[in-house]
Amino acid sequence: MIYLRTAAPEETLRAESTPAKLLMFKDREPSRAFLILENMTCIGRASLTADGLGHVLVLTEFKEEVSSDLIHHAFAITANEAIRSYHPTDLYACSDDPRMKAVFPRNLFYPKGEVFRRTVEEWRYLIPDSCFDREGYLIDQGRMNRLPFGRFSTKDKGCGWIAAYNILKLNGHEQTMKETAYGLSRFDPTGELFGENYFKLFLYLRRKGLPVKAAFGRKAAAQKMPASKNGILLYSRKPGSHYCAYRIRHDGSIYIFNAVYGKPSHRMDIDEFLSQYAKGFKVMLLYIAP
């Protein structure tokens, strides 16, 4: 588990130089500064600097031994903290660490000369901050009535695209919420009357570059999930079927996203989850092997 802990003044990360594209932040002190902890061990530092005009500079520094995947998740938490704290229109980032050139695009930052920039999508501010967990994964479909999905609202029919958004983000293929919802709904002649189709979702994720595999039935899901990295489970519940994404933890349990609306850090054993939530006759799995 990755945490951000407020840094002391002497621990604060500051820009050693200011690229020309970031002159709006020149000579500004960081608004917030953090130590980045993983299992209570410091793996890096971060600072957020706001210019008061809708722009925030995100600076991070990670230890050499930290893996790229861990940096990806730590930077996602830091960027999401910036969005929650300041509700900016744009985030900026720069780093001399060569590992960050791969991490920034995985978090929707695109290069602008020697810096990276992320324009926060309009949909982000149409729903409450509580719809997201600390890393920016969607966890509260029940409060997403302002986002459309086909002819309906995401609150009513959107669990499929939410699960797709989360699994794309989990695997470093993050895209905007609007792109995900429209990409899945635009070819449905019913306007998503029956919710997201499992096979259409499978093909969509394949086209997006995810090597998803399919498994059908509770027994198959119980066998495939422990050996997977992450995935999406479709199961029956009242008043209908539901999709949710999951991520395997180091101890074999799972983090589940949007199974219980608004519940952050929802962790369960796989067998416990299948027996407690996937009670109906329909259990279908899409999963990513390690």
Q: pLDDT by residue (tens digit) across 149-163?
A: 988 999 999 999 999
Q: Between 177-185 and 198-207, two packed helices, what is the crossing angle to 10 degrees?
A: 130
Which sign does the torsion angle of CA 244, 247, 253, 258 carry?
negative
Q: Which of 90, 112, 106, 91 is nearest to 47 (CA)?
A: 91
DSSP, res 284 = E
Pick the more confident residue, 141 or 26. 141
Bridge partners (DSSP) of residue 33 are 47
Q: Of 274 and 15, which is predicted with more confidence?
A: 274
Domain boundaries, the chain: 2-120, 141-288
- pLDDT the model gives residue 194: 63
Lowest mean pLDDT segment, chosen from 15-19, 92-96, 144-148: 15-19
Instruction: Please state the rounded mean pLDDT for residues 34-63.
Output: 96
Query: Position of tokens 């499929």?
Result: 160
**194 vs 255: which has the higher pLDDT:** 255
Domain topology for 2-120: Aminopeptidase (3.40.630)
Which helix (DSSP H) or strand (DSSP E) does residue 156 occupy? helix 154-157
Q: What is the mean pLDDT of the chain?
A: 93
CB 206 within 8 A of CB 212: yes
Strands 110-112, 32-38: pairing kind: unpaired
CA distance 229 to 63: 25
**Among 73, 64, 72, residue whose Cα is nearest residue 96:** 64
Instruction: Tell me the β-bridge partners of 149.
Output: 152
Q: What is the pLDDT of residue 218?
A: 92
> What band does 67 get if pLDDT is binned at 50, 70 and 90?
very high
Three-state SS at 238: coil
Sign of CA dihedral 189, 195, 200, 204: positive
pLDDT(132) > 90: yes
Region class of 174: left (phi > 0), else alpha (psi between -120 and 50), else beta: beta
Pairing status of strand 2-6 against strand 148-149 = unpaired
State the Cα–Cα distance between residues 195 and 110, nearest whole angstrom: 33
Position 184 scores a pLDDT of 93
The token pair at 73 is: 């998740």
Q: What is the pLDDT of residue 191?
A: 55
Q: 198-230: per-residue pLDDT in tens?
A: 999 999 999 999 999 999 999 999 999 999 999
Q: How far is 176 from 108, CA to CA, in rounded Å?
A: 8
pLDDT value, residue 164? 97
Number of H helices, E strands in the chain: 8, 15
Residue 189 has a pLDDT of: 63
| Number of residues written out for the chain | 290
Using pLDDT thresholds of 50, 70 and 90, give the confidence band for residue 190. Answer: low
Residue range 74-84: mean pLDDT, rounded: 96
Strand partners, 92: 57, 117
At 285, is the secondary structure helix, strand, or coil?
strand
Q: What is the CA radius of gyration of the chain?
A: 20
Q: Domain spanning 141-288 has what CATH number? A: 3.90.70.10
